[in-house]
Amino acid sequence: MLYLYNTLTRKKEPFKPFRPPAVGLYACGPTVYNFAHIGNLRSYIFEDVLKRVLLWNKYNVKHVMNITDVGHLTSDADSGEDKMLLGARREKKTVWEIANFYTKAFKEDMKKLNLLPPTTWCKATEHIKEQIQLIQILEKKGFTYVAGGNVYFNTAKLNDYGKLALLDRQADAQTQARVEKDPHKKNRHDFVLWFTKSKFPEQAMKWPSPWGPAGYPGWHIECSAMSLKYLGPQFDIHCGGIDHIPVHHSNEMAQSEAALGKKPWVKYWLHNEFLVLAEGKRMGKSEGNILTLAELDKHGFAALDYRYFCLGTHYRHPLMFSREALEGAKQARKKLWERVVELKRAKKGEQAAKGPEKELKKRGEKENLEANMEEDMEESMEEGKTRVHKYLQQFTEQVNDDLNTPQALATTWNLLHDEKLGGQEKYQLLLQFDQVLGLDLKKVRAPKREKVPAGIIKLAEERLQARKQNDWTKADALRQKIQERGYQIDDTLAGYEVKKLTN
């Protein structure tokens, strides 16, 4: 059974979707006015693991992700500057060019991080009609008012507004600090559904609506309208970072439940904690301390090193970023890579070894010996199967326990260190685990071997024989000889590997 921590109930709950095996998953996507920073990307890595765990549990996941290309101001609560305009001014481009460029950049980041693409991408600017229709439903039901030319959602009309944020208790003070005073708002938490009076004279994205000839939507309505279109009036999981709890998700929930009359609108709300810096500060654009994947790359870190780094901490814990910690993840991933290369080589070796065995069998030689060997093999295969089953069970329990990736990684390493398990079994299990971890292990290629002189190979073979006969003195002497001739020999699952020594 899969258990997920639900922000709505503040509890870990068994996952029971509305219409199994179908699962509707909505993830609030990026605001495309700049490159995503690695804090944002932590959010999308968490959502990717969530999706992969749902798939691991054989659910059919419909994953919808929006692209916010209009309406998001620098403060989540209708104040500050327009983010898209900010980008356009900064780069002397049109808002449309900015949106296209950063949408493409975001999708490239996703690929580098091996994030599964959503079933449906949807852009706010391509769903203006749906947003207007939803506002009209709210208007008809008496949840809106017009003030200063803009249409507002009246939070006083809902008796449970803010239940996601436990408003009036923990989150109220926080929200109060974030919401600038707007003289048109009747209640402090009211929010704009549709702007007709833009405070930005150069506003380029404008559409006609029942409330005026040239306006644009507030930020929150796009997610309600698009999730309704693609996932229906009730769906299973909605996710994002914890900063979305008090404003964006509270407002999405308020307008959707008011318009659609379904409660709960969404059954499970999942939120990831922040990527923070050593001083405990969140990584964020407004904090001016952001790093992008391109910057990590300049410092020698691949996107998958960052993915590995994120997997090492549970998504509901703050993740402390430091170069040293990322270096640790990079080294661990490198080791994992090397292990996979060894297992792949061992696999090739095992297959090659099967040829002569078959030949012997055909000729009917050493029949008794064969029979004994087969018996032994059957026994060890039985034991192997049990161990494989044990690992699969353990891994499943861990990822099903609210996506415990740090433990799942530990299990992966235990598996690699397990001497009682054959290389083939390890390799197959690893590939299975990677369906959740998403480290792209299938693509691991062994580096091309350089040509090693026949004399060195001969010494290496002699050393292998010596090791098999537990003649360690001879083996060490041969290693020394190989080194003196400029080569390094390492023991691997397949036998050995010889490399040219570099200074």
Q: Which residues bind Zn ion (CB under 5 A)?
A: 28, 223
User: In the complex, what is the shortest distance from the CB of residue 348 to ligand AMP, in angstroms, rounded to a whole number?
Assistant: 42
Q: How many Cβ atoms sit within 10 Å of the Cβ of residue 197?
A: 13
**Pairing status of strand 3-6 against strand 11-14:** antiparallel
| Rounded CA separation 385/372 (Å) | 20
CA dist 132 and 230 (Å) reads 16
Q: Which of Zn ion, ligand AMP, none interacts with 284 (beta carbon under 5 to 8 A by kind)?
A: ligand AMP
Which CB atom, from 110 or from 296, has the smaller least distance to Zn ion?
110
Task: Kindly tell me which of 40 and 234 has the beta carbon lying closer to ligand AMP.
Answer: 40
CB nearer to Zn ion: pick between 270 and 329: 270
Q: Which of 243, 327, 401, 471 binds ligand AMP (CB under 6 A)?
A: 243
For the bound state, the minimum distance from the C-beta of residue 249 to Zn ion, rounded and expressed in Å, comes to 7
Token couple for 14 = 């068994």
Site membership for ligand AMP, residue 40 (CB under 6 A): yes
- Name the minimum Å distance from CB 84 to ligand AMP: 12
Q: Shortest Cβ distance from residue 285 to ligand AMP (Å)? A: 7
Residue 65 touches which of ligand AMP, Zn ion, none (CB < 5 to 8 A by kind)?
Answer: none
The residues in 360-419 that bind ligand AMP, with binding defined as CB under 6 A, are none
Least distance to ligand AMP, CB of residue 434, Å: 24
CB 178 within 8 A of CB 21: no
Binding partner of residue 71 among ligand AMP, Zn ion, none, CB cut-off 5 to 8 Å per kind:
none
Structure tokens at 5: 């921590």
Q: Which does 17 bind (CB under 5 to 8 A by kind): Zn ion, ligand AMP, none?
A: none
Binding-site size for ligand AMP (CB under 6 A) equals 17
For Zn ion, which is the closer residue by CB, 118 or 422? 118
Q: Which does 223 bind (CB under 5 to 8 A by kind): ligand AMP, Zn ion, none?
A: Zn ion
**Rounded Cα gap, residues 497 and 114, in angstroms:** 30
Number of Cβ atoms within 10 Å of the Cβ of 6: 20
Return the residue nearest ligand AMP (CB atom).
241
Residues 160-163: contacts with CB within 8 Å, 24+ apart?
A: 161/189, 161/250, 161/254, 162/189, 162/246, 162/250, 162/254, 163/8, 163/250, 163/253
Between 28 and 122, whose beta carbon lies closer to Zn ion?
28
Q: Is 39 in the site for ligand AMP (CB under 6 A)?
A: yes
Residues 245-284 that bind ligand AMP (CB under 6 A): 272, 274-275, 282-284
What residues contact 473, with CB distance under 8 A and at least 6 apart? none
Give the one entry of Zn ion, ligand AMP, none that residue 39 binds, where binding means its C-beta sits below a cut-off of 5 to 8 angstroms depending on kind.
ligand AMP
Strand, helix or coil for residue 409: helix
Question: With CB cut-offs between 5 and 8 Å by kind, which of Zn ion, ligand AMP, none does residue 40 bind?
Answer: ligand AMP
Residue 82 has what DSSP assignment? Answer: B
For ligand AMP, give the closer residue by CB, 271 or 339: 271
Dist. CA 155–CA 394, nearest whole Å: 46
* Structure tokens given for 502: 């570099």
Q: 277 and 289 in contact (C-beta within 8 Å)?
A: yes
Instruction: Give yes or no for a contact between 21 and 60, defined as CB atoms under 8 angstroms apart.
Output: yes
User: Least distance to ligand AMP from the beta carbon of 435, Å?
Assistant: 24
336: its two tokens: 């994992």
d(CA 446, CA 342): 8
Tell me the closest approach of the beta carbon of residue 69 to ligand AMP, in angstroms.
Answer: 11
Q: Helix, strand, or coil here: 362?
A: helix
Q: Is 227 in the site for ligand AMP (CB under 6 A)?
A: no
- Residue 94's CB: how many other CB atoms inside 10 A? 13
Q: What is the x/- site pattern for ligand AMP, positions 8-37, by CB under 6 A?
A: --------------------x-xx------
Of 184, 123, 176, residue with least CA distance to 153: 184
Residue 241 binding ligand AMP, by CB under 6 A: yes
Q: Which residues would be at the binding site for ligand AMP (CB under 6 A)? A: 28, 30-31, 39-40, 42-43, 240-241, 243-244, 272, 274-275, 282-284
